[in-house]
Structure 1
């Protein structure tokens, strides 16, 4: 039976591995839509700008979903990435070793969606994909700062190409 793979993109966590509201929002969405004909792929390794905790971000996200009731048997290997391009590249490496994939659903936040589509549509072009950009509950200032960051990152990709 072919399975949809839910790819949950990482976001910062605390030095103690505590997940942010943004992470929990993405994970709660995953839990809400999860069915037993799906697999889950958690992204996020370690990196100074988003996770200086002892373990990879994906470790904390998987444990969160297991506590919410998704069995360990539904998880693929971790994509131990440090950025969005690595999310796609490392996910592809895992997906290429996985049989019977029907489609991918990439779960992120609204402010990140445009760049995610740009990157994943290039790197994972052989797959049927759906993208979910969850509305973030950030302050207007936080949201604006993240949108500005995303626009600069997209401009860089358009100007310099996507390197992976």
Structure 2
């Protein structure tokens, strides 16, 4: 890129469930462990997740618990961008775009989610964050067959809705 600006990599970790007391689910931990593994000193980290009846009814936003977990894993506090206090996947992308638009650097993005969620995340983020260099990472997570089947069915339904009705944001 000819502008001479520094290219910054932003690791965007998508929110997922935590308990009412703020304990992160195995899905959350698998995404955050991946983020910690990918983190380099010059990276920035954007944690998504506010509150919602299906993923967080705790006192603090999901992103708060995610940041605390990553800091225990060695990610420095000054690497974090403001939280994207989102309620769903589309909201993740919309709120992330708003935060990213305030940065002066050219950015490359690494979106971290779960493998079962990857197809929908690609659809959403490629639309809302057009123009950014984006890499997607689908992290495997340990779920029982029934739980995994429920999540896959939800994803298929959500993807079909996007393909049929378009993306509203």
TM-score range, shorter chain: over 0.9
Q: Which runs of 5+ in 2 are unaligned?
A: 1-5
Other-structure match for 1:95: 100
Give TM-score scaled by structure 2 length.
Answer: 0.95
Give the Cα–Cα distance (whole angstroms) in 1 for the partners of residues 104 and 30 of structure 2: 29
Other-structure match for 2:7: 2
Within the candidate set 51, 59, 68, 1:54 is matched to 59
Other-structure match for 2:17: 12
Give the Cα–Cα distance (whole angstroms) in 2 for the partners of residues 56 and 72 of structure 1: 17
Q: Deviations over 1:60-103 (max 9, x none)?
A: 00011111111110000000000000000000000000121330
Give the Cα–Cα distance (whole angstroms) in 2 for the partners of residues 116 and 101 of structure 1: 22
Give TM-score scaled by structure 1 length.
Answer: 0.98
Give the Cα–Cα distance (whole angstroms) in 2 for the partners of residues 43 and 99 of structure 1: 21
Q: Is the 8 A contact 2:30 2:140 kept in 1?
A: no
Give the Cα–Cα distance (whole angstroms) in 1 for the partners of residues 24 and 14 of structure 2: 13
Other-structure match for 1:86: 91
| Residue correspondence of structure 1 range 1-164 to structure 2 within 5 A | 1-164=6-169
Q: Is the 8 A contact 1:46 1:81 kept in 2?
A: yes
Give the Cα–Cα distance (whole angstroms) in 2 for the partners of residues 99 and 68 of structure 1: 28
Q: Is the 8 A contact 2:49 2:62 kept in 1?
A: yes
Cα 1:101–1:40 shift into 2, 3 Å:
farther
Q: Which runs of 5+ in 1 are unaligned?
A: none
Shift, 1:142, TM fit:
1.3
Shift, 1:11, TM fit:
0.3
Q: Is the 8 A contact 1:5 1:101 kept in 2?
A: no
Give the Cα–Cα distance (whole angstroms) in 2 for the partners of residues 71 and 26 of structure 1: 18
* RMSD of equivalent CA atoms: 0.8
The count of residues paired between Structure 1 and Structure 2 equals: 164
Other-structure match for 2:3: none
